[in-house]
Amino acid sequence: MHEMGIANSILEAVKKEAARYPGAQPRKVGVKIGELAAIDPEALRFCFEVLVRDTEMQRLELAIETCQRRHQCLNCSAEFPVRDYDFQCPQCGSLTSKCISGDELQLAYVEIDEYEPSTS
């Protein structure tokens, strides 16, 4: 299950980012996963929850955005979603295209609660 390794990498990236803000607490991390990335979002979520359970990060939320497969026509440059292996350009009917989205795995954002030191 490579989702455990991916979940661990996400958690390490969050810890690294949070270290830049002493006293701050990470609350939410967002990732983008392409439908061609061979990652099961629910397995990733499960692994992430296992890793943060009973740790200082246990309140950290994982938000997953799934990105659909998109192609660009090599004839007319139109961009279009690919469904059911239909690679035909809806603009010009060409069957020659290249994949431009759908295989990504990206750390999109980390939300951190910053606490101002008390002046009293």
When computed from its CA atoms, the radius of gyration of the chain, rounded to whole angstroms, is 19
How many C-beta atoms surround the C-beta of residue 116 within 10 A? 6
| Ranges of the chain with pLDDT below 70 | 1, 115-120
| pTM for this prediction | 0.81
The pLDDT score that the predictor gives to residue 62 is 98
Instruction: Give the list of residues 6+ apart from residue 120 with CB closer than 8 angstroms, or none.
Output: none
The pLDDT score that the predictor gives to residue 75 is 96
Q: How far apart are CA 71 and CA 64, in angstroms?
A: 22
- Structural domains of the chain, ranges and CATH numbers in brackets: 3-12+25-113 (3.30.2320.80)
The pLDDT score that the predictor gives to residue 23 is 85
The pLDDT score that the predictor gives to residue 115 is 65
Question: Which H/E stretch holds residue 2?
Answer: none
The pLDDT score that the predictor gives to residue 111 is 95
Q: How far apart are CA 73 and CA 96, in angstroms?
A: 6
Q: Work out the end-to-end distance of the chain between its first and last CA atoms, rounded to an integer number of angstroms.
A: 50
Q: How far apart are CA 79 and CA 110, in angstroms?
A: 29
The pLDDT score that the predictor gives to residue 118 is 52
